[in-house]
Amino acid sequence: MKVAQDVLAPPAKAAIFLTVTVRAGQERAAREALADVPGITRAVGFRIPELRLSCVVGIGSDLWDRMCTGPRPAKLHPFVPLEGGKHRAVATEGDLLFHIRADQTDICFELSHQLLRRLDGLVDCVEEVHGFRYWDERDLLGFVDGTESPTGFEESQEAAIIADQEPHFAGGSYVIVQKYLHDLGAWDALTVEQQELVIGRRKLSDIELPDAVKPANSHVTVNSITDDHGNDLAIVRDNLPFGNAGAGEFGTYFIGYAADPSVTERMLRRMFIGEPVGNYDRILDFSRAVTGCLFFVPPAAFLEDL
């Protein structure tokens, strides 16, 4: 298998999620700039290697058709918006995703600065979200986030990295990102016990509630899916909280890597529409998705070969 980008890096303490669009007519120049990303990342990270700086690059469906020739990733397509009875998963623009992460914010910022300098005049920044580790891996709702993400290397690789199913793109991945904004006023009005029923876990211990107690529309239940043979299906998450206390903005940036994006998409359908229809994820009553994009993450060498 070709070497993957740093999709399976350990959970980050800090990250910058950078989404850009490529200006019309600048596709070739952008392609040349992408070939420089691994080298720029090495140059910035080499100075303080213990901070574990990495950058994963994703390419959107529309840009792939404008910029690349040859075989196309079989499951690359625009993010599919979802219209539930009460909540919506919106699709927003984005040609390139840069998932920059490290153990300190300053080195993430330096890399984002250097990447945008290299892309100056070629792209427009759609979104820049600075994520941070909050307490013991908790989100701003106060619950531990990402507990069910695979932890072992083999399990994580199986969930997130393309192998034999797409020979041309072995070592690649698919990633879906969404920015969620929380209504902390409504959330904090709940008792801890009510919050636990929304999530499906104990708030302090992070232990999953017993099946007899856990509601069918709890976040844990809705996001637990299996294949036709009853095997659990998983994705690799590296969500982080973000916020602006002065502006009253509190949120979670969802990022999910998968060898097959239909796994993540099924989770989202269960969240926003429900299985059965109407059994939507109760967390959406307190957390609203304001962006949505899907990208293909090529193998590491693909970028430099551009």
Output the 3-class SS for the chain: CCCCCHHHCCCCCEEEEEEEEECCCCHHHHHHHHCCHHHHHHHHHHCCHHHCCEEEEEEEHHHHHHHCCCCCCCCCCCCCCEECCCCEECCCCCCEEEEEEECCHHHHHHHHHHHHHHCCCCEEEEEEEEEECCCCCECCCCCECCCCCCCCHHHHHHHHCCCCCCHHHCCCEEEEEEEEEECHHHHHCCCHHHHHHHHCECCCCCCECCCCCCCCCCHHHHCCEECCCCCEECCEECCEEEEECCCCEEEEEEEEEECCHHHHHHHHHHHHCCCCCCCCCHHHHCEEECCCEEEEECCHHHHHHC
Task: State the Cα–Cα distance between residues 215 and 231, nearest whole angstrom.
Answer: 22
Model pLDDT, residue 45: 98
Percentage of the residues of the chain whose pLDDT score is greater than 90: 90
What average pLDDT does this structure show over 10-15?
92
Q: C-alpha angle with apex 7: 296 to 56, nearest 5 degrees?
A: 60
Whole-prediction pTM value? 0.97
Q: 95, 139, 145, 281: which one is catalytic?
A: 145
Task: State the Cα–Cα distance between residues 103 and 125, nearest whole angstrom.
Answer: 24
Contact yes or no for 129/179 (Cβ under 8 A): yes
Q: Is the pLDDT score of 2 beyond 80?
A: no
Model pLDDT, residue 1: 63
Q: Is the pLDDT score of 201 beyond 80?
A: yes
pLDDT tens for 54-98 read 999 999 999 999 999 889 999 999 999 999 999 999 999 999 999
Q: Is the pLDDT score of 165 beyond 90?
A: no
By mean pLDDT, which of 158-167, 234-243, 282-291 is the weakest?
A: 158-167
What average pLDDT does this structure show over 217-229?
95
List, in order of start, the domains of the chain with CATH numbers: 6-305 (3.30.70.1030)
Q: Is the pLDDT score of 305 beyond 70?
A: yes
- Tell me the C-alpha to C-alpha distance, in Å, between residue 226 and each of 47, 82, 231, 236, 239: 44, 21, 5, 15, 22
Burial (CB < 10 A; 0-12, 13-18, 19+), residue 62, is middle
Residues pairing with 245 in the sheet = none
Please give the distance of CA 106 from its chain centroid, rounded to a whole number.
21
Residues 6+ apart with CB under 8 A from 51: 45, 102, 103, 104, 107
Respond yes or no: is residue 228 known to be catalytic.
no
Model pLDDT, residue 69: 87
Q: Is the pLDDT score of 302 beyond 90?
A: no
